Structure 1
């Protein structure tokens, strides 16, 4: 049996055609026309006024926070169960991350814990949609309005997902996407800042491009960054965006098949198929074991030729932040549990039903027969 990777992107649309157009025209840098087209098409897709394409999702977060003009020491509430990019972006902007635990069934941040974390220094809430289900946005938006807080929406994993019929990526003051190869839309590396605010969009466009000035290009009033997306990347992104609806259907079929094959396994938590505000798009198919360390099962699957990936490790447990004096003695039991016992199975767009059956059979053998 050949190795089944945890993810393999699907590049069977117009990707090659558009890449050849870039090469034939010589437009391979960030100056090419596909960049602006990709920004416009993503903005239309998620009902935003502006899209600002950048080199990856991490810098999209950093620019998004930078655009809010927060001051050093201002607090931003964020989930502890997320990727490090989220809290790193807060810290790098001189702000203080304040963490909340996650919900045990959706794996998204526990909304009931947010208001108690609000202090006179709180300026924003960072929402991170996790693994396939969005955060319940209405209570967040109401809370932000009540306390005059900004909302940053990390929709990196939510291409094509809807919350109550509205696109993820359309909420709050500023939102971001990532286009890493394991996302529904990939550009290899890449990201985008989305907003309806003209100032935020202009700020991000300037900062991503070294703060060049329109009329006096090489005289700089501010220090910016080279966070530009290339025309080559944007060309792939447009070809991927053309197939997004098909990709979402494919992912839901993938999730449904895994659920069908694994539903009879005892002592295992499968992803929640839906809530009253959204249907899961299964960015990844995660599972949480009961009293069996995830690393042990992952290693056994690897020995059988099956790739896996651990769940995010909580931010309050990250050595780099603890060394900074952050989150010392803080405990978030739900996140700690699912990080120790959770991982996700091969679930990229290129996986076949036969491969899913092989993964399920091997997981069952390990968990039920002890092999």
Structure 2
């Protein structure tokens, strides 16, 4: 089986993991927590970085630190993993779901601007599959309307937009280090920001709302969202290898694009001007396909030992979303219906990529049957 993803763990991760184990510092204190945060600051260009136990809690912390609360409207894209939506509900805010761009599949700035009301507090953009959102346009909109700009950069660590790194493109940004992400600690997350007040708030909230100097005194209701030193040891090694891991992912994407070529049946996610993505999972659209046709392609690949996945379903289609929040997002709906994600990880060999491409071309219906 060629999996859709697998972590790239080597001798350095093992060395640091065993060092943390042998030190006895296996919980949320230890040198690797601080080392990982310093590495994140260097990689993102953000003055402040705080690690936590997963990417969803990172989003929760970011919204809380930014002061988003009950009744506030937060604009989010329709096409994203459900954690983006869940975090908005965690703070009792109201998600305002808007469409995405047909090119990059990221949130449409024009749709964001059209959705702003007197209750809007924040724009929560998502760097889908490692492609940065249009933070130039989003920053202009946020500044004009006095809104917070938050980045769900779970999938884009190492990406840049006009030479600025993901993690420094918004007022506050979040990352995920789940096992299938660009950089992993098994489970883990982080919040980066250029605002000291946001950083201080994140540090307090992730540690049960603790007082900065008075032990066992908790000023606010907090959460146990800390990362362990064990996880941080793996993360530190991965961050030290980030250049190598990201280069290999880009090599995988280059091979896919070379081998698939200009096939009218397949439409890849496009790269925005000035952007250098960090490929998380290489995804394409089967032009004009129905959801059933796309799923038959996934089944055909599986029958040949190749794992693939549909792109994310629309968040407004989740059964717990109230009827009055179920927006119409036709572009996102089309991408979700047609999209398929292919195996993407650093150690994926050229031969395996060729196998995937041959199988995909054979499984996709002829042009006359799609479009």
Give the direction of change, closer, same or farther, for the CA distance of 1:71–1:132 in structure 2 (3 Å limit). closer
Distance apart, 1:218 and its partner CA: 2.7
Give the direction of change, closer, same or farther, for the CA distance of 1:70–1:279 in structure 2 (3 Å limit). closer
Distance apart, 1:205 and its partner CA: 1.0
Q: Distance in 1 between matches of 2:9 and 2:246?
A: 15
Q: 1:231 aligns to what?
A: 229
What is the DSSP-based 3-state SS (H/G/I as helix, E as strand, rest coil) of the residue aligned with 1:43? helix
Q: Distance in 2 between matches of 1:17 and 1:258?
A: 33
Q: Distance in 2 between matches of 1:331 and 1:69?
A: 28
Q: 2:48 aligns to what?
A: 50
Q: 2:361 aligns to what?
A: 364
RMSD: 1.6
Distance apart, 1:290 and its partner CA: 2.2
Q: Distance in 1 between matches of 2:84 and 2:298?
A: 26
Q: Distance in 1 between matches of 2:141 and 2:268?
A: 30
What is the DSSP-based 3-state SS (H/G/I as helix, E as strand, rest coil) of the residue aligned with 1:81? coil
Give a deviation string over 1:32-82, Cα, whole Å, max 9, x none: 110011111101221112111100000000010011223311111111111
Distance apart, 1:264 and its partner CA: 4.4
2:331 to 331, 334, 339: 334
- Which TM-score applies when normalising by structure 1? 0.94
Q: 2:195 aligns to what?
A: 197
Q: Distance in 2 between matches of 1:145 and 1:36?
A: 33
Q: Does 1:162 align with 2:160?
A: yes
Q: 1:262 aligns to what?
A: 260
Q: 1:355 aligns to what?
A: 352
Contact 1:316 1:326 in 2 (8 A): no
Contact 1:8 1:351 in 2 (8 A): no
What is the DSSP-based 3-state SS (H/G/I as helix, E as strand, rest coil) of the residue aligned with 1:253? helix
| Pairing of 1:278-293 with structure 2 (within 5 A) | 278-292=275-289, 293=293
Contact 2:73 2:122 in 1 (8 A): yes
Contact 2:248 2:347 in 1 (8 A): no
1:36 to 9, 34, 37: 34
Q: Distance in 1 between matches of 2:183 and 2:316?
A: 30
Distance apart, 1:132 and its partner CA: 2.7
Q: Does 1:277 align with 2:277?
A: no
Distance apart, 1:115 and its partner CA: 1.0
Distance apart, 1:325 and its partner CA: 3.6
2:183 to 182, 185, 192: 185
Unaligned runs of 5+ in 1: none
Contact 1:5 1:346 in 2 (8 A): yes
Q: 2:6 aligns to what?
A: 8
Q: Distance in 1 between matches of 2:160 and 2:50?
A: 21
Give a deviation string over 1:166-200, Cα, whole Å, max 9, x none: 10110222111111122111000000011122221
What is the DSSP-based 3-state SS (H/G/I as helix, E as strand, rest coil) of the residue aligned with 1:58? helix
Contact 2:204 2:212 in 1 (8 A): no
Give the direction of change, closer, same or farther, for the CA distance of 1:19–1:71 in structure 2 (3 Å limit). closer
Q: Distance in 1 between matches of 2:300 and 2:229?
A: 42
